[in-house]
Chain A
Amino acid sequence: MSAALLPLVQLDIRSRRGGTCESEDGFCPDWIVDNLDRYVSPLLEHVVLTMVSVGIGFAIAFAVALLAHRREWVSAPVGALTSVLFTIPSVAAFLLLVPLTGLGPLTAIVALVGYTQVFLFRNMVNGLSNVGEETKDAARGMGLTERQLLWRVELPLAVPEILAGLRIATVTTVNLATLAFFAGAGGLGAQIYTDITFRSNVVVAGGLAILLAALFDLLILGGQRLATPWRRAAAA
Chain B
Amino acid sequence: MADQHRQAAVVEFDHVTKRYDAPTGRDKGKPTPGAVNDLSMKVPAGKICILVGPSGCGKTTTMKMINRIIEPTSGTIRLQGEDVTGSPPDELRRRIGYVIQQVGLFPHLTIADNVATVPRLLRWDGSRTRARVDEMLDLVGMDPSIYRGRYPKELSGGQRQRVGVARALAADPPVMLMDEPFGAVDPIAREKLQNEFLRLQEDIGKTIVFVTHDIDEAIKMGDRIAVLRTGGKLAQYASPAELLMYPADEFVEDFVGADRALKRLALQRVRDIDLWTAATVRSGEPVAEARRKIAEADIDIPLVVDDHGRPQGWLSERGLAGERVRPELRSRAEPLVELDDVLRDALADLIESEVHYSPVVDPDGCLAGVLSLEVISQSLHVPPERARTSTELVEPAGDDAVSAEIEPA
- Of B92, B107, B150, B164, which one neighbours A157 at CB under 8 angstroms? B107
B53 to chain A, nearest CB (A): 21
CB-CB under 8 A from B89, the residues of chain A are 143
Mark out the residues of chain B between 94 and 150 whose CB falls within 8 Å of any chain A CB in the assembled complex.
94, 96, 98, 100-110, 117-118, 121, 150
Tell whether A235 is near chain B: CB-to-CB under 8 Å.
yes
Q: Chain A contacts of B220 at CB under 8 A?
A: none
Name the B residues within 8 Å of A228 (CB-CB). 108
A157, B154: Cβ atoms closer than 8 Å: no
B255 within 8 A of A: no
Question: Which of A132, A139, A228, A236 has the most chain B CB atoms closer than 10 A to its own CB?
Answer: A236
Q: Are B90 and A139 in contact (CB under 8 A)?
A: no
Task: Decide yes or no: A230 and B69 within 8 Å by CB, A142-B98, A157-B107 being known contacts.
Answer: no
CA distance A134 to B107 in the complex (A): 11
Tell which of B67, B106, B109 has the most Cβ of chain A within 10 Å: B106
With an 8 A cutoff between CB atoms, is B256 at the interface?
A: no
Knowing A134-B100, A228-B108, say if A143 contacts B156 (CB, 8 Å).
no
B108 touching A157, Cβ below 8 Å: yes
Within 8 Å by CB of A143, from B94, B104, B177, lies: B94
Residue B30 interfacial (CB < 8 Å)? no
Secondary structure of the A contact surface, majority rule = helix
A144 in contact with B150 (CB, 8 Å): no
The 8 A CB mask of A129-143 against B (1 = contact, 0 = none) is 000101111111111
Interface size class of B (residues with CB under 8 A): 35 or more
Q: Does B151 contact A (CB under 8 A)?
A: yes
> Within 8 Å of chain B (Cβ to Cβ): is A15?
no
Q: Is the CB of A148 within 8 A of B121?
A: yes
Complex alpha-carbon distance, A142 and B117, angstroms? 8
Q: Which residues of B contact A140 (CB under 8 A)?
A: 69, 93
Most chain B CB atoms below 10 A, which of A148, A229, A230: A230
Q: Which A residues, 95 to 153, have Cβ-Cβ distances below 8 Å to chain B?
A: 132, 134-145, 148, 153
CA distance A233 to B118 in the complex (A): 24
Does A156 interact with chain B (Cβ within 8 Å)?
Answer: yes
Within 8 Å CB of A5, what residues of B? none
- In the complex, chain B residues whose CB is within 8 Å of the CB of A134: 100-104
Q: Is A234 an interface residue (CB 8 A)?
A: yes
Q: Which of A141, A159, A230 contacts B177 (CB 8 A)?
A: A141
User: Given contacts A143-B92, A143-B94, is CB(A138)–CB(B177) below 8 Å?
Assistant: no
Give the Cβ gap from A150 to chain B, nearest Cβ, in Å: 13
Please name all residues of chain B whose beta carbon is closer than 8 Å to the beta carbon of A132 when the two chains form the complex.
102, 104
The distance from the CB of A142 to the nearest CB of chain B, in whole angstroms, is 5
Interface 1/0 per residue, A157-183 and B, CB below 8 Å: 101000000000000000000000000
On whether the beta carbons of A143 and B154 are closer than 8 Å, the reply is: no
Complex: A143 Cα to B104 Cα, angstroms = 14
Which residues 147-167 of B sit at the A interface, judged by CB distance below 8 A?
A: 150-151, 153-156, 159, 164, 167
B95 to chain A, nearest CB (A): 8
In the complex the two chains form, is A236's CB within 8 Å of B155's CB? yes
Given the known interface contacts A135-B107, A138-B100, the answer about A144 and B154 at a Cβ–Cβ threshold of 8 Å is: no
With known contacts A142-B94, A142-B118, A144-B90, A156–B108 Cβ distance under 8 A: yes
> CA A157 – CA B106 in complex, angstroms?
9
A141 touches B93 (CB 8 A): yes
Q: Bound complex: CA of A134 vs CA of B121, how far in Å? A: 19
Cβ-defined contact, A143 with B118, below 8 A: yes
A234 touches B154 (CB 8 A): yes
For A148, give the chain B residue with the smallest CB separation. Answer: B121
The chain B residue with its CB closest to the CB of A138 is B104
Residues of A within 8 A of B (CB): 132, 134-145, 148, 153, 156-157, 159, 228-230, 233-236
User: 30 pairs across A/B with beta carbons < 8 Å?
Assistant: A132-B104, A135-B104, A135-B105, A138-B100, A138-B106, A138-B164, A140-B93, A141-B67, A141-B93, A141-B98, A141-B100, A141-B104, A142-B98, A142-B117, A142-B118, A142-B121, A142-B167, A143-B90, A143-B94, A156-B108, A157-B108, A159-B108, A230-B107, A230-B108, A230-B153, A233-B150, A234-B154, A235-B153, A236-B155, A236-B156
Chain B interface residues (CB < 8 Å from chain A): 67, 69, 89-94, 96, 98, 100-110, 117-118, 121, 150-151, 153-156, 159, 164, 167-168, 177
